[in-house]
């Protein structure tokens, strides 16, 4: 039998099969013997069984209780599953969200949107942790290119509304509370692609988004660098530092008394790492795509460009772009870091109309599970070669 391992997959219930896949085990008593032998350390650990099943929880006592209570349901993280019968994702826990923050704290303020400059060490911070414990399995071939949309099954009309929360060197970007508040009031699902540096400077907001069952968090690199100009080492840092920063915040959230007051099952509804990735500037290289494939992170581009980062793009223009170009399986890109200048005002102009037309808003992982992906080997905005202008930026920039 393998020794206890901290190179972790994850423990999940059946309803999270899409995220993590099932690896059944019939050995609850053997696991219990291991726990007695090695004791119950305080930090999060995992157990690898002889059949390579990996199970984990914040501590070994919880592993014992969970596995013995539900034998045969040890779950290991893996690439996206596309069986519609298994499309039962969870992102967040309403119980934890309600216990840990008051409505006023979640509401935020208009000042959250402000963007400020940072200098000195604060302008280029390094993460406390550079490698995640939690890893994902290599992507299947169909997910290894730049994903632009999905062809849904069964004549459904899913659409993924996505928001970038970018933060580059020399700045602290904002948080558009009006966007998040509208989505929450109207129960609209969305995905936030978040820079690791933004997670570091907005840790409480990140944990709120993690805990909200409406939202999925994706990886957006550490400091919004142009991946087409990066070597393999820097690519790895940008991706893994962000995975590790998210993991630290998951652990911080799990340690809060408010989170401890609910069941372990509620906590485990929150993914331990981001499950998807978006390239800053929408630029990539073969090396970057290959690294993401090995890391188990689908590279999510978009089909609908709102232009919301342009100062002259009004809410009516954003809405028009979305209503004219959205199709079933579309991915829409917006910004929620203070650079979506009229995005909040645009939401009530297009969301009700799309709902009336039969569209369903889903997270990006739910969209990937809803049909066959449309993916290409090159990253671009709307046509090949249209983002080459970013290559003059030597790896660091703002969006």
Answer for the pair 367, 202: CB distance below 8 angstroms, yes or no: no
Question: Which tokens belong to 381?
Answer: 């905005």
Specify the 3-state DSSP secondary structure of 232: helix
Residue 188 confidence (pLDDT): 98
Render each residue's pLDDT in the chain as its tens digit; 399 residues: 333 222 223 333 333 333 333 233 333 333 333 333 334 444 444 444 333 444 444 443 343 333 323 333 323 343 444 443 344 678 999 999 999 999 999 999 999 999 998 766 566 788 899 999 999 999 999 999 999 999 999 999 999 999 999 999 999 999 999 999 999 999 999 999 999 999 999 999 999 999 999 999 999 999 999 999 999 999 999 999 999 999 999 999 999 999 999 999 999 999 999 999 999 999 999 999 999 999 999 999 999 999 999 999 999 999 999 999 999 999 999 999 999 999 999 999 999 999 999 999 999 999 999 999 999 999 999 999 999 999 876 544 433
DSSP state of 202: T
Residue 90 confidence (pLDDT): 85
Domain ranges of the chain: 14-78, 94-392
Nearest residue to 370 (alpha-carbon basis) of 88, 13, 75: 88
Q: In this structure, are strands 190-194 and 215-219 parallel, antiparallel, or unpaired? A: parallel
**Distances from the Cα of 135 to the Cα of 196, 274, 277, 301, angstroms:** 17, 10, 14, 22
CB under 8 Å, gap of 24 or more: what pairs does 49-52 form? Answer: 49/1, 49/2, 49/25, 49/74, 50/1, 50/2, 51/23, 51/25, 52/2, 52/23
Question: Which tokens belong to 173?
Answer: 């970007």
Q: Which fold is adopted by the domain 94-392?
A: TIM Barrel (3.20.20)
Residue 124 confidence (pLDDT): 72
Ordered DSSP codes for 49-66: -TTS-EEEESSHHHHHHH
Answer for the pair 289, 144: CB distance below 8 angstroms, yes or no: yes
Give 335: exposed, middle or buried? Use CB within 10 Å, 0-12, 13-18, 19+: buried
Residue 122 confidence (pLDDT): 63
Separation of first and last alpha carbons in the chain: 50
- Say which residues have a Cβ less than 8 Å from residue 123's Cβ, sequence separation at least 6: 169, 170, 171
Residue 81 confidence (pLDDT): 42
d(CA 259, CA 311): 40
Answer for the pair 296, 77: CB distance below 8 angstroms, yes or no: yes
């Amino acid at each position: 039998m393998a020794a206890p391992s901290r190179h972790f997959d994850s423990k999940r219930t059946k309803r999270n099969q899409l995220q993590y896949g099932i690896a059944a085990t019939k050995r609850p008593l053997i696991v219990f013997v291991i726990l007695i032998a090695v004791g119950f350390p305080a930090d999060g650990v995992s157990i690898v069984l002889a059949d390579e099943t990996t199970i984990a929880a914040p501590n070994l006592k919880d592993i014992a209780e969970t596995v013995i209570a539900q034998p045969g349901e040890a779950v290991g993280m893996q690439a996206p599953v596309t069986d519609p019968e298994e499309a039962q994702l969870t992102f967040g826990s309403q119980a934890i969200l309600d216990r840990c923050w008051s409505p006023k704290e979640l509401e935020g303020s208009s000042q959250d949107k402000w963007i400020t400059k940072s200098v000195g060490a604060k302008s280029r911070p390094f993460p406390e942790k550079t490698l995640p414990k939690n890893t994902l399995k290599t992507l299947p071939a169909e997910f290894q290119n730049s994903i632009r949309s999905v062809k849904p099954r069964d004549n459904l009309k899913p659409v993924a509304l996505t928001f970038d929360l970018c933060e580059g060197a020399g700045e602290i970007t904002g948080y558009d509370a009006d966007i998040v508040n509208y989505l929450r009031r109207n129960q609209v699902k969305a995905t936030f692609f978040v820079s690791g540096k933004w997670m570091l400077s907005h840790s409480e907001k990140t944990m709120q988004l993690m805990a909200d069952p409406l939202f999925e968090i994706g990886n957006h690199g550490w400091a919004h660098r142009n991946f087409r100009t990066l070597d393999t080492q820097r690519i790895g840092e940008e991706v893994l530092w962000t995975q590790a920063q998210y993991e630290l915040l998951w652990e911080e959230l799990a340690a809060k008394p408010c989170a401890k007051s609910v069941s372990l099952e509620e906590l485990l509804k929150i993914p331990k790492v981001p499950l998807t990735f978006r390239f800053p500037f929408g630029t990539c290289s073969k090396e970057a795509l290959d690294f993401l494939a090995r890391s188990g992170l689908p590279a999510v581009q978009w089909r609908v460009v709102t232009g919301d980062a342009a100062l002259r793009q009004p809410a009516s223009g954003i809405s028009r772009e979305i209503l004219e170009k959205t199709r079933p399986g579309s991915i829409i890109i917006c910004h929620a870091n203070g650079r979506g200048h009229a995005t909040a005002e645009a939401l009530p102009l297009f969301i009700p109309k799309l709902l009336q037309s039969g569209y369903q808003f889903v997270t990006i992982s739910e969209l990937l599970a809803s049909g066959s992906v449309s993916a290409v080997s090159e990253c671009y905005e709307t046509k090949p070669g249209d983002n080459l202008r970013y290559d003059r930026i030597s790896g660091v920039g703002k969006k």
